[in-house]
Amino acid sequence: MKKLQLKHIKKLVLIILGNYLLALAVGAFILPYDILSGGVAGLAIALKPIIPLEPKVIIDGLVIGLFVIGAIVLGKRFAMTTALSSILYPIFLTFTERMPAVGVDPLLASLYGGIIAGLGVGMVIKQGSSTGGMDVPPLVLNKYTGIEIVTWVFIIDGITVGLGFFNYGLQAVLQGFISVVAASYMIDRVLVFGETQAKMVYIISDQYEKILSVIHDEIDRGTTILQAQGGYTGAVKPVIMTVVMKNQYPQLNSKILSIDPNAFLIVTDSTEVKGYGFSFQYKV
């Protein structure tokens, strides 16, 4: 019970911190420099020459509107987890936009605004929540297409930045893309942060029995044997599939090549691995 309470408290703290970081990025970097970033702030700046309202008013309206859309499409759970963000973000932004200008080059403001915003949004999404802003459309599209959230974030933010071309010109758009790329990168990094990062390795070798022995006894990892048939020769050969931690891969690679210099290896990154030896250990 106590662990569950601590988990909920940690989740709440991270959601609050994530919203504050997003508001800080918008209030201290994006709004003062009229940066065509992604998110509701970037859309508000793009619409500023068309709609005679303060960007803060447009942002508040968009946050409320997108929250309603998200609640309808994504359901009650989304509404419950996002309601807090929809209240906190406008409040935090009210204070951060009154902060003194940081006094940096607009390019640096675009870069660091994107980094801080991406960090904040990523923290909130990782807790299963949303800031209630322009990360709602990516969540909706992810539900119906299965395409990763960060991909939709990049696409929608790119479209948002592009809207400002006619009112702000090419330089402002290119500057805005710096913020979009930085934010997308940070969201992606935050979403995989803390997960088990490993290497999945496929090995084809005539010395597969010796290699199996090394993986089991020296690397201390499990293996799976797959039967594969060569497309050209038609020969059937065993393929070893194993998953190792990133810091174990250099040792594995060295051992395999010492046994069979002609071994064929296929190596891919695995950002999340669940199961014995990775996400939990058996008790004996």
Where a domain ends, among 132, 161, 192? 192
Q: Whole-prediction pTM value?
A: 0.67
- Reported residue count of the chain is 284
Q: Give the residue numbers spanning the domain of 223.
A: 198-270
User: Percentage helix, strand, coil, to 5, in the chain?
Assistant: 65, 10, 25
- 105, 46: one domain: yes
CATH of the domain at 222: 3.30.70.120
Q: Residue 239 in 3-state DSSP?
A: strand
- 206, 184: one domain: no
pLDDT at 224 over 50: yes
- Alpha-carbon gap, residue 79 to 56, rounded angstroms: 23
Angle (CA) 262 264 270, round 5°? 145
- 256, 116: one domain: no
Q: What is the pLDDT of residue 284?
A: 33
Highest mean pLDDT range out of 2-16, 69-83, 162-176, 206-220? 206-220
- 209, 172: one domain: no
- 32, 131: one domain: yes
| Angle between helix 39-47 and helix 149-163 axes, rounded to 10 deg | 20
pLDDT more than 70, % of the chain: 92
What digits encode the pLDDT tens for the residues 35-74? Answer: 888 778 888 888 888 888 888 888 888 888 888 888 888 7
182 phi, psi to nearest 5 deg: -65, -45
Higher pLDDT, 37 or 284: 37
- 23, 87: one domain: yes
Contact by Cβ (8 Å): 256, 211: yes
Give every CB contact of residue 88 below 8 A, 6+ residues apart in sequence. 15, 16, 19, 20
| Confidence band for 111, pLDDT divided at 50, 70 and 90 | very high
Where a domain ends, among 165, 192, 219? 192
- Alpha-carbon gap, residue 275 to 28, rounded angstroms: 43
Where a domain ends, among 174, 192, 210? 192
- 29, 52: one domain: yes
Highest mean pLDDT range out of 23-37, 40-54, 139-153? 23-37
- 226, 250: one domain: yes
- 146, 264: one domain: no
Q: What is the pLDDT of residue 281?
A: 43
49 phi, psi to nearest 5 deg: -70, -15
pLDDT at 146 over 70: yes
- 179, 259: one domain: no
Residue 281 resides in a domain: no
- Alpha-carbon gap, residue 150 to 116, rounded angstroms: 16
- Alpha-carbon gap, residue 189 to 207, rounded angstroms: 38
User: Two tokens at 283?
Assistant: 């008790």
- 13, 54: one domain: yes
Q: Where are the alpha helices (DSSP H) in 97-163?
A: 106-126, 136-145, 149-163
Residue 284 resides in a domain: no
DSSP label at 271? Answer: S
Give every CB contact of residue 121 below 8 A, 6+ residues apart in sequence. 18, 22, 39, 131, 135, 153, 183, 187
Which helix (H) or strand (E) segment is 29 a member of?
Answer: none
Flag the least confident range among 1-15, 88-102, 105-119, 206-220: 1-15
